[in-house]
Amino acid sequence: MRQSLIMGNWKMNGTRESSQSLCAAIMAGLNENDKNIVICVPAVYLADLQTLTSNSPLALGAQNVANQEAGAYTGEVSATMLKEFNCQYALVGHSERRTYYGDTDESVAERFCQAQKQGVIPVLCIGETLAERENGETFNVVNTQLDAVIAKAGIGAFANAVIAYEPVWAIGTGRTATDEQAQEVHKAIRERVALQDPVIAENLQILYGGSMKADNAKGLLAMPDIDGGLIGGASLDAQSFLKIYHSI
Ligand code: 13P
């Protein structure tokens, strides 16, 4: 039985001070038996938030991870570094990384492998643009993004990874995929993995991301192949984020 997972992606928002108060407000809404709730925070705030969350069910994640182990890679943060701050998860291949910073299927696969090598669970983000959806290319796009990582990491790697389906047209737009639209793609992703390993596919957590809010989360999370959410905007408000978490 798959467990649900709720992840917040703060993106490049907040200050040192506001990140700590947001984190504290989220923790205040959790009790000690809660689990499977994660915030992916700006790397520079990891140290503060590691201290703050040390006795809390709230886990930490990074928004990206380097595709190399160490060395002359200016501006990058390695998986070993993330591990030092008790980062349990790292997003890889977020559409904003792919669009604005040139992350390719190949570098995303490398990032995925680097994270996993250090015991950081990679959260592989995949999804189509509006133009691709309108051209009927959704499944092709998602399969290509997924296959690139399977080819490099091997299907076995997905026993310890998470996939986030984030249609680009739904990110930050207020335009959510309908429950059925999202379910259709999640099911296809699971079936694609199942072609190579049905057991891994059955256990794989596939999250939905893209304008998930407190008022639409319940419907999405009730779909059979939607195992959680990767939440941007609504994760910047503790009460909205907690409401999504508690709607599981
Ligand atoms: P929004 O929830 O703001 O649409 O962002 C989704 C996202 O990109 C999470 O990674």
Among 96, 128, 132, 166, the active-site one is 166
Query: What's the pTM value of the predicted model, to 2 decimals?
Result: 0.98
Ligand 1 centre distance from Cα of residue 210 (Å): 5
Nearest CA to ligand 1 atom 9: 232
Please write the tens of the pLDDT for every residue from 12-53: 999 999 999 999 999 999 999 999 999 999 999 999 999 999
Q: How far is the CA of 239 from the centre of ligand 1 (A)?
A: 17
Mean pLDDT for the stretch of residues 226-244: 98
Mean pLDDT of 123-140: 97
The pLDDT of residue 37 is 98
**Dihedral over alpha carbons 148, 152, 154, 159 (to 10 degrees):** -80
46 touches 82 (CB < 8 A)? yes
Report the atom number in ligand 1 closest to the C-alpha of 212. 2
Give the residue from 64, 90, 94 showing the smallest Cα distance to 77: 64
pLDDT band at 128 (very low <50, low <70, confident <90, very high): very high
Is the shortest distance between the CB of 214 and ligand 1 below 6 Å?
Answer: no
In the chain, the number of structural domains is 1
Hey, whose CA ends up nearest to atom 1 of ligand 1? 232
Residue 93, ligand 1, Cβ within 6 A: no
CA dist 148 and 15 (Å) reads 36
What is the distance in A from the centroid of ligand 1 to the CA of 245?
15
Amino acid residing at 98: R
pLDDT at 112 over 90: yes
Q: How large is the average pLDDT for residues 211-235?
A: 97
Cβ of 233 below 6 Å from ligand 1? yes
Q: What is the DSSP letter of 24?
A: H
**So what's the pLDDT on residue 1?**
80
Amino acid at 171: I
Is residue 186 annotated as part of the catalytic site, yes or no?
Answer: no
Q: Are 105 and 144 in contact (CB under 8 A)?
A: yes
How does the average pLDDT of the chain come out, rounded?
Answer: 97
Q: Which helix (H) or strand (E) holds 60?
A: strand 58-62
Token readout for 140 is 């092709």
202 is catalytic: no
Q: What is the pLDDT of residue 33?
A: 94
* CATH code for the domain of 66: 3.20.20.70
Its domain, for residue 183, covers 5-246
The rounded Å distance from CA 212 to ligand 1 centre is 7
Q: Tell me: the pLDDT tens digits for 80-93?
A: 999 999 999 999 99
**Neighbour count for residue 78 (Cβ, 10 Å):** 20
pLDDT class of 207 with cuts at 50, 70, 90: very high
